[in-house]
Structure 1
Amino acid sequence: MKRLGFVFIAVLTALIFTGCPGTGSDPTPDPVTYALGDPGPAGGWIFYIDEADEFSWDYLEAAPSDQSAPQVWIEGGETQTTENGNTLTAIGTGQANSDAIIAQTDHTGSAAKICLDYDDGTYSDWFLPSQYELNEMYTNLHDQVPAVGGFSNDDYGYWSSSEGSANSARVQYFYNGEQNVDVKSYALRVRAVRAF
């Protein structure tokens, strides 16, 4: 009988400890999921979801506000170009475009640098969006009822990181949704994005 009591206590002790928090392996918490227009982890707005699993990230988040007063696409005049650096227009190319812009010889400053240097106090992985990333921002945040993101409706467009030519870059106008190219020396708005 003593032996049966000892076995019972041993089994009961094992069951208690395996059910106690912190003694076994805790289940991994479910990842946070976001919908378009939701506030993101950096306090900005979710404007793109990688539903096709094309990228190493799941979401694109726009910063909560513009990063500066209107800014030229690149300082040093229209002769500075990334035309040979192959800046692209597609979703998923904004980071590489931004890196190519600041990697130029004699680069002194640009809309891309403002975004790459942006640090909200928690995240510092921001970049200037590509043409189609910027269009998703317009479509999924600004062109909604109600609009979110605090984008300007004036005739200053927002720069993308996508080059148009040696002296122009691609722009998104938020007052009418149109995309165009503007001369790199024009001062336009800048809104950083991040992928996570």
Structure 2
Amino acid sequence: MQRLFFLFLFISSFAQAQIVPQGFLVGKVKLAIGDAYQGGKIAYIFASGDPGYVSGQTHGLIATVADVSSGAQWGCYGSTVSGADGEAIGTGNQNTIEINMAGCSSGSAASLCANLVQGGYSDWYLPSLEELRIMRLNKSAIGGFAAADYWSSSEYNASNAYYVGFQFTGYDGRYKYSTYRVRAVRSF
């Protein structure tokens, strides 16, 4: 009789839970910044007002657990990449697509992210300026960042793109041929 009771509890608990990729039970597990999830670590959880926010659902950004490169160029020095100027949360993926469509070298920061397969996921991209600034704010929880400069996918002008300094709180436009560290993100 006791076994039947436990079987009933298991089945009723399972029927009430929603299963998502990687076996997490939504409503049973609270996700937090820094948690291992879907091929990386949660870097940010969308809040009301953020693009991609859906009331009652958990969505956000996942960062790779380590840098994709310790020194890559942004690429396309001297050329403006149409559509790669998004700076806000939610624009990094489109920026990355535009940079790669412009043919900005196979070893560019955006190309390295777009071609990355990690943790069974292949939808990584170079974060926008604001996405990267949020990662800097949460760098202790995410872990693995160097005290160095990281490329964003946000273009400043034909010669420069935005970087974010993880050793201090600065960001600015720098020459696209400069080599900076690269950390990829994906949305969930």
TM-score range, shorter chain: 0.7 to 0.9
CA distance in 1, matches of 2:9, 2:183: 48
Equivalent residue letter for 1:189 = R
Matched, 1:92 2:90: yes
Check conservation: 2:96, 2:126, Cα contact below 8 A: yes
Matching residue within 142, 149, 155 for 1:163: 155
Task: For residue 27 of structure 1, report the CA deviation from its aligned partner.
Answer: 3.0
> Tell me, which stretches of 5 or more residues in structure 2 are unaligned?
1-7, 19-24
TM-score by length of 2: 0.79
* Residue equivalent to 1:14: none
Identical counterparts, % of pairs:
36
CA distance in 2, matches of 1:148, 1:63: 9
Task: Describe the shift of the 1:37–1:121 C-alpha distance in structure 2 as closer, same or farther (beyond 3 A).
Answer: closer
Matching residue within 42, 48, 51 for 1:46: 42
> Tell me, which stretches of 5 or more residues in structure 1 are unaligned?
1-18
Look up the SS of the partner of 1:47 in the other structure.
strand
CA distance in 1, matches of 2:136, 2:51: 21
Task: For residue 151 of structure 1, report the CA deviation from its aligned partner.
Answer: 0.5
Equivalent residue letter for 1:153 = A
Task: For residue 79 of structure 1, report the CA deviation from its aligned partner.
Answer: 2.2
Within 5 Å, give how 1:44-193 maps onto structure 2. 44-52=40-48, 54-55=51-52, 58-74=59-75, 78-82=77-81, 84-104=82-102, 106-109=103-106, 110-142=108-140, 148-154=142-148, 157-193=149-185
CA distance in 1, matches of 2:38, 2:104: 32
Task: For residue 138 of structure 1, report the CA deviation from its aligned partner.
Answer: 0.3
